[in-house]
Chains A and B, each alone.
Chain A
Amino acid sequence: MVLNLGLPQVVGDGSGWPMWMVAAGVSCCLITVCLAVGGVGPWIPPAWRRDRSVRSIGT
């Protein structure tokens, strides 16, 4: 609904295509926010974290 009703208004006679591509880019940034805030889980691979812990014990 947002896309199909919003895109023609933004694009207009064709000169608004860059503006819509900016909107799509902003949507992708908001996707990142959703994944970063909503997702639960490690940011770095557990195996890398274990390796780092072992190395720190060694030193």
Chain B
Amino acid sequence: MSIPEVDDTISRSEPLEPRRRFFRRRYIDEYPTGWRRVWVIGLIVLAWTVENFELYKAGPVLPYIFEEFDTNLTTWGYLAAGAGVATMIGGLTLSRLSDRFGRRPVIIWPVLIYGIVMVIGALAPNLAVFSLTIFAGALLVSGMGPTVNAALRDVTPQTGRATSYGFLGTAYTLGALISTWVAAETIPIWPGFRAQYWIGAAVAGAIFMILFIFYRDLSPRIRNTIIRDREAGMRAAAEKAGYASAADAMKAGDAVFRNWRLWVLAGYGIFWGIAYVTVGNYVPLYIVSFHGISPASASGLASMFWLTFTVALVFSGWLCDRLQVRKVIGCAGGISTGIMFFVIAFLPQTQNITELSLIWAATGVCAGFIYPAQVAMLSETPKRSARSESPGRSPSSRLRRWSPQWC
């Protein structure tokens, strides 16, 4: 494999002071380690947090959107379903662009375009224009998703990658937490949905500037080195496992798709989607329309869920690794969250706001125990299934060999 020359645009003839050299550099021409890696990962997580903040911004102000455009929940449901289709298209197209042109353009430019989309949303004269901003936003955010994951993978070695993905996972919830918290704080000052979109545009602009100035891709030379090392690693692993070539090992790996357990485990996504997106998109509206609470207070209530959910995510991930169990923790989370939803279903309309806060906070704690356990099991089930089918291994040796890992 030929290694292209790195065009980092630094003039070799004149020595530059380190700060100027950093700003003129197009690529990171060494594999980031230590604090430099933390810095790059931090920028990626920041970008993803902001995009999720933008994504969940409509939830807290839905009552205002309905009022302003004289629409209803049914129409909004169709728009949200259309955004789902845009999500699919964005994921398929933008991820190809990131492979072709590098991660940087697909990470930083969608943030700027999203900012412009927010401005159009804030000025939207009718529902048709506003709908276009929803579709464009969904397309951009979902398109960034695979790229953000790929960028994170580029800069992290296998050891420690799980922790990095753990931080990326919290970006989803932090984005939702910030959107509800910002709405709770600013709606009393600027009522209506347009102010939230102006805030979203300002945040997107600021984050774009940070990413534009500081975020750099790995140079082609370093990326090629990583790919070469990975291919060599795959060949060595295949030989060690007794396969003639990496291709044979890959073919054997395809058997994982015939594993019924994996399909059942992955099927959880449908039910998780229903529960998770209900909270993300519709709970503020539910609190406003069912309990008759103001949109600002409803956003504050919803932010209680996201706050406890984020903390519980981190804690349950740690607990999963500490106790070396996933099933019981994930199942406990599922059952307890289900019970909390049943409790919420039977609450009277005149429920006290403090009690509502506590109930939604408790629901967040319970829900936080589902996701890390599920992700860990999804990654480990193929390995464990294969191991349990191999003869001549005692249960104790299986236990000793069991090495918990994330993702």
Contact = CB atoms under 8 A, between A and B. Distances in A.
Interface of A: 1-5, 7-9, 11, 14, 17-32, 34-47, 49-50
Contacts, number: 170
A15 to B, nearest CB: 9
B268 A28 contact: no
Nearest to B72: A8
Contacts of A22: 341-342, 345
Interface in B353-407: 367, 370, 373-374, 377, 380-381, 384-385, 388, 399, 402
A36 to B, nearest CB: 5
A26 B338 CA distance: 6
Nearest to A23: B274
A27 B270 CA distance: 8
B382 to A, nearest CB: 9
A8 B335 contact: no
19 contacts: A3-B273, A3-B278, A8-B72, A8-B77, A14-B290, A17-B289, A17-B290, A28-B271, A28-B275, A31-B271, A32-B331, A35-B374, A38-B381, A39-B381, A40-B388, A41-B380, A41-B384, A45-B323, A47-B323
Contact of B330 (A7, A8, A20, A39): A39
Interface string B32-60: 00000000000000000000000000000
Contacts of A3: 80, 273-274, 277-278, 281
Given A27-B275, A34-B267, A41 B325 contact: yes
Interface of B: 72-74, 76-78, 80-81, 84, 261-268, 270-275, 277-278, 281-282, 286, 289-290, 323-328, 330-331, 334-335, 337-342, 344-347, 367, 370, 373-374, 377, 380-381, 384-385, 388, 399, 402
A32 B399 CA distance: 24
A37 B371 CA distance: 16
A9 B382 CA distance: 39
A21 B331 CA distance: 19
Contact of B76 (A8, A14, A28): A8
